[in-house]
Amino acid sequence: MFMLDDIDRKILRELLKGSNRSQRELAKAIGVSTATVINHVQRLESAGVVRNYTVLLDHERLGYELTVITEITVSKGKLLEVEEEISKISNVCAVYDVTGLTDAMVVAKFKSRSNLSDFTKKLLAMPYVERTNTHMVLTTIKEDFRMLNDI
Domains in the chain and their CATH numbers? Answer: 6-46 (1.10.10.10), 60-136 (3.30.70.920)
pLDDT category, 54, cuts 50, 70, 90?
confident
Q: Is the pLDDT of residue 5 over 80?
A: yes
Mean pLDDT for the chain overall: 95
Quote the percentage of the chain above a pLDDT of 70: 99
What pLDDT is stored for residue 113 in this prediction? 97
Model pLDDT, residue 55? 87
Please give the Cα distance from 70 to 135 (Å, whole number): 6
How far lies 34's CA from each of 12, 24, 31, 54, in Å?
Answer: 15, 5, 9, 22
Q: Residue 151 above 90 pLDDT? A: no
**pLDDT tens figures, 85-140:** 999 999 999 999 999 999 999 999 999 999 999 999 999 999 999 999 999 999 99
SS3 104: strand
